[in-house]
Amino acid sequence: MTAHHLDGQRDIAWLEPRAADLTRRVTEDLIIPEVDICCGLVEIPVEDALRVLPPALHPAIPGLVGLYTYSAPESPIGAFNMVFVGVLARSGVKPRLMVTAGFIDNAEAGRLLSSGWGFPLEVADVRLAVNYDRVRTTVARDGRLLLSFEVQHPVAMTGAGSTLRYPQPFNLTRSEGGLKFVQFDASYGFERVARGHPRITYCDPDLVGGVEVSDDFPVTGTLAKAKMTLHPIRYVAETATRAEDGGVSQLS
């Protein structure tokens, strides 16, 4: 911790078992023609964020947890439902999401997203249920519920409100250089956007480093249908050295 910033306090070793093996160097964009995206954002105590984040990252104030579902009915890597959870942070001045857990229902798609973009994905039963008054995501594995959240009472957005910006995920990866974050970059062509109220029925604390996540202090929920383009990895970040101290580098 410095005089001007709060720094994460936890050694990244706690997240190492979920680190992806970055074994492929992706050199071309991957275009997913249609994806439904459901996002819930809720507050947590900043003290909890500090206990999850490593020294290279600064917490959002107030602390924030993001839950994201991506559902693609078809894509070059197959149809999939993917969920990832993370803690909002800053790397330097830029907002990022340190991904702490992820799940997918298509093993081959998960392997490609992990080896090429660093997502920490476990195969699970991931479902997205769309109703007129809510969109619900559930994740279960071996018959045990791990996550259930909704975006309720969505209202369609038009004009300037019809686009969204998501914080770039920081995925922890394992490579020859040791444990590093890689920054996931994607661009979106939005077809429809709606905003609603996030509600968390259950979130296993283990998904967020032992933090109890609830919707006591909701921030926002969003729904979107979009064309999504995944870009090759360009930025790599250290886990213990801050961006302002030279902890972020660009791949050549």
Q: 168 and 86 in contact (C-beta within 8 Å)?
A: no
Question: Could you give the domains of the chain?
Answer: 26-250 (2.40.400.10)
| 5, pLDDT greater than 90 | no
pLDDT given at position 4? 57
pLDDT exceeds 60 at position 95: yes
- Give strand pairing partners of 189: 227
Alpha-carbon distance of 146 to 230, in angstroms, equals: 27
pLDDT value at residue 73: 97
Mean pLDDT over residues 79-84, rounded? 99
pLDDT at position 143 over 90:
yes
- Measured in residues, the chain has a length of 252
User: What pLDDT is attached to residue 162?
Assistant: 82
Cis preceding-peptide flag for 62 (omega within 30 of 0): yes
Buried b (16+ CB within 10 A) or exposed e, 136-166: bbbbeeeeeebbbbbbbebeebeeeeeebeb
The pLDDT tens digits of the residues spanning 197-231 come to 999 999 999 999 999 999 999 999 999 999 999 99
3-state secondary structure of 168: strand
Per-residue pLDDT, averaged over 123-151, amounts to 97
3-state secondary structure 33-56: EEEEEEEEEEEECHHHHHHHCCCC
Residue closest to 56 by CA, chosen among 96, 17, 85, 16: 96
Helices and strands of the chain, counted as H and E runs: 2, 16
210 CB neighbour count, 10 Å cutoff: 12
Instruction: Say what the pLDDT of residue 2 is.
Output: 47
Does position 107 have pLDDT exceeding 50, yes or no?
A: yes
Q: What is the pLDDT of residue 175?
A: 81
Average pLDDT, the chain: 95
DSSP-derived secondary structure letter, 132: S
Instruction: Let me know: does 132 contact 109? Beta carbons within 8 Å.
Output: no
The string of pLDDT tens digits covering residues 151-203 is 999 999 988 778 899 999 999 999 877 899 999 999 999 999 999 999 999 99
Percentage of residues in the chain with pLDDT exceeding 90? 91
Token couple for 96: 């990022």
Confidence at residue 160, expressed as pLDDT on a 0 to 100 scale? 77
CA 90 and chain centroid, separation: 14
